[in-house]
């Protein structure tokens, strides 16, 4: 569930970096809001599709997935 919004956000930033006249701060903010909206939409879809959802497990898994880059930096010596 986390991969799709982050992938689209990264692709948008990659495309914006190729354009010289692009506002990078504006592109970043639009991308962050789009990523947040897509993540919330996916949560809504999953909650309606799977009625026996254990929210604590889902949110803990999402938190760990989003923080995996920090964990990778802590493990790097």
Domain ranges for the chain: 3-75
| Tally of CB atoms within 10 A around 33 | 10
Q: Tens of pLDDT along 59-73?
A: 888 888 878 777 777
Q: The whole model's pTM is what?
A: 0.66
Cα angle for residues 15, 61, 37 (degrees, 5° grid): 40
Contacts of 36 (CB under 8 A, 6+ apart): 5
Mean pLDDT value across the chain: 82
Contacts of 65 (CB under 8 A, 6+ apart): 2
């Amino acid at each position: 569930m986390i991969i799709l919004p982050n992938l689209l956000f990264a692709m948008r930033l990659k495309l914006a970096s190729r354009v010289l006249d692009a506002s990078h701060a504006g592109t970043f903010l639009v991308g962050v809001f789009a990523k947040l909206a897509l993540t919330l939409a996916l949560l809504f879809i999953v909650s309606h599709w799977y009625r026996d959802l254990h929210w604590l497990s889902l949110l803990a898994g999402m938190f760990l997935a989003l923080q995996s880059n920090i964990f990778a930096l802590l493990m790097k010596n």
